């Protein structure tokens, strides 16, 4: 079972910890499985930057950053070295321990779970 901890820049939201079989699933799919708010205007096909997250721990157990994803991260609000798009963060190891921070979603207009 993978263990994923979701923190939020919006400090009104409490962190959420989930455990589930996750190999082959994206962080975005996991947020949807657990009703965790994360915008995703393009439907998770790497065509926007609304599912931008920060991977605080576990980058090595996620699929590598592609050039296309990097281009969209450059368009995200406040990108950092640990920035990724949740739709492209495919979990590669079933026994992963991952920690992510979801940026404040209040200024993003679009689809939400």
Q: Where residue 81 sits, what CATH number does that domain have?
A: 3.10.20.30
Task: Write the CA distances from 29 to 12, 21, 40, 44, 94, integer angstroms.
Answer: 23, 12, 11, 9, 15
> Residue 87 is part of which domain span?
2-101
Residue 106 lies in a domain: no
Decide if 109 is inside a domain: no
Q: Which is higher by pLDDT, 113 or 33? A: 33
Q: Let me know: does 6 contact 102? Beta carbons within 8 Å.
A: yes
Residue 22 has pLDDT above 80, yes or no: yes
Q: Is 89 a domain residue?
A: yes
pLDDT score of 47 more than 70: yes
For residue 16 the two structure tokens come to: 């959420």
Q: What's the average model confidence in pLDDT over 29-54?
A: 95
Q: Quote the number of domains for the chain.
A: 1
Helix (H, G, I), strand (E, B) or coil at 56: strand
Considering the chain, what percentage of its residues have pLDDT values greater than 70? Answer: 95
113 has pLDDT over 80: no
């Amino acid at each position: 079972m993978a263990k994923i901890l979701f923190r939020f820049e919006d400090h009104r939201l409490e962190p959420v910890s989930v455990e589930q079989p996750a190999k082959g699933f994206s962080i975005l799919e996991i947020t949807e499985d657990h009703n965790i708010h994360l915008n995703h205007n393009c439907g998770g096909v790497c065509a926007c930057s609304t599912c931008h997250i920060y991977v605080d721990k576990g980058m090595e157990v996620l699929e590598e950053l592609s050039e296309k994803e990097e281009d969209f991260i450059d368009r995200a609000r406040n990108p950092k070295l640990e920035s990724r798009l949740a739709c492209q963060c495919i979990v590669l190891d079933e026994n992963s321990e991952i920690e992510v921070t979801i940026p404040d979603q209040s200024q993003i207009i679009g689809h939400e779970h």
